[in-house]
Amino acid sequence: MNKATEAFDQGKLVAMPTETVYGLAAPIDRPELLKKIFTLKERPFFDPLIVHVKDADQAKTLVNNWPELASRLVKAFWPGPLTLVFEKNPKVISDMITSGLTTVAIRCPKHELALNLITDLGVPVAAPSANKFGKTSPTTIDHVKSEFSEKDVYFLDGGSCEVGIESTILSIESNKVTVLRRGLISEDDIKPYLKSGEVIEYHNSHEVIAPGQVKHHYMPKIPLLFFRVKPTSELIKLEAQKLSLMPASTGKKIDLSNDAKIAARTLYSSMRDLSETGSDFLYCYIPKEKDKDPNWLGIIDRLQKASKIEVTEPAQS
Ligand code: TXA
Ligand code: MG
């Protein structure tokens, strides 16, 4: 932990394990390190960062307004994979962190090393996922090491991430909760904490509400085809040709567990590993019926954004 906090003084960022994915962290009061997050990630400055805190009390020091509904959600889900968007306190949260927005996204990660780092430092850290912009998020320290070098980043190894996909992001306005990014915590998980008159809605991110909610994201090194109907060999071949892949090109299937929690945990590792096997493309199949199961929606969202094509119709013969 000492080494990690010292790394900041040497001008490095810290690869910080969290329960969702690894983050690339810098203290919120170090503008030169915050800037380095964007340059190392090759991330556009219009994409705001999530601030990670040790607890709700620390979060309250960063915002101008703390709705009572936030207290209920935080009590139920922090530490954990839930990010909340608040009106920011501009004295402590710079425009570098929020890309000029008047709001700030905050979460309290459920990982001992992350919590120790923030506690020892005494300052919250801003951290996006520790991958190059638009690419697959890392769920092990080796994933981070494959994209960043030791001269820029101190690698804090906290094992494999338990959740495996990024946190659920919610914004709160008076009586309405808006889901900006789906994750392990679903709309159904939130509902029991809402009072009568309060509603929760999913905002389809294709309409772009927040910077960073871009369509192509989480992309593996080779093209990914996302099948919502059974991928027969005929259909796979047909769709691969649409991507101008050669008729003889080979695809590797990302096999997912039937258990959504396990599927989320292994998704990004499988995407990375199978990208390295010399195949020309990847494909994955999640039947359309799974859209009705809230536990699968975060996973389906990531595959839609990571894929070149989503195939919803069987082959016409
Ligand atoms: O699980 C996670 O959330 C991981 C770990 C490291 O904590 N972090 C993560 O960060 O996924 P990142 O940078 O890959 O995604 C952050 C996204 C932004 O792209 C943006 O969509 C949203 O959070 N965001 C950040 N600040 C926001 C704001 N003020 N309003 C709306 N959305 C915001
Ligand atoms: Mg990311």
What pLDDT score was predicted for residue 317?
A: 61
CB atoms within 10 A of CB 273: 14
Distance in angstroms (rounded) separating the CA atoms of residues 298 and 304:
10
Distance in angstroms (rounded) separating the CA atoms of residues 309 and 305:
9
> Which residue has the least CA distance to atom 12 on ligand 1?
128
Burial class of residue 189 (count of CB atoms within 10 Å of its CB; 0-12, 13-18, 19+) = middle
Distance in angstroms (rounded) separating the CA atoms of residues 92 and 86:
13
Average pLDDT of the chain to the nearest whole number = 94
Give me the percent of the chain exceeding a pLDDT of 90. 90
Quick one: which atom of ligand 1 is closest to the CA of 16? 6
Residue 52 near residue 46, CB atoms below 8 Å: no
Residue 208 has pLDDT above 50, yes or no: no
Residue 215 has pLDDT above 80, yes or no: no
Distance in angstroms (rounded) separating the CA atoms of residues 247 and 241:
7
Ligand lying nearest the CA atom of residue 205: 1
> Of 225, 183, 199, whose CA–CA distance to 77 is shortest?
183
Burial class of residue 117 (count of CB atoms within 10 Å of its CB; 0-12, 13-18, 19+) = buried
172: left (phi over 0), alpha (psi -120 to 50) or beta: beta
- Listed residues: CB within 5 A of ion ligand 2: 129
Tens of pLDDT, residue by residue over 234-256, are 999 999 998 888 777 899 999 99
Ligand lying nearest the CA atom of residue 135: 2
Q: Which residues line ligand 1 (CB under 6 A)?
A: 18, 20-21, 23, 47-50, 81, 83, 85, 98, 101, 103-105, 109, 127-129, 166-167, 169, 180, 210, 212-213
Ligand lying nearest the CA atom of residue 131: 2
Distance in angstroms (rounded) separating the CA atoms of residues 198 and 272:
40
CB atoms within 10 A of CB 27: 19
Give me the percent of the chain exceeding a pLDDT of 70. 96
Residue 214 has pLDDT above 80, yes or no: no
> Which residue has the least CA distance to atom 27 on ligand 1?
105
User: Is the previous residue joined to 220 through a cis bond, with omega within 30 degrees of 0?
Assistant: no
Tens of pLDDT, residue by residue over 82-120, are 999 999 999 999 999 999 999 999 999 999 999 999 999
Q: pTM score, two decimals?
A: 0.94
Distance in angstroms (rounded) separating the CA atoms of residues 81 and 167:
4
Residue 207 has pLDDT above 60, yes or no: no
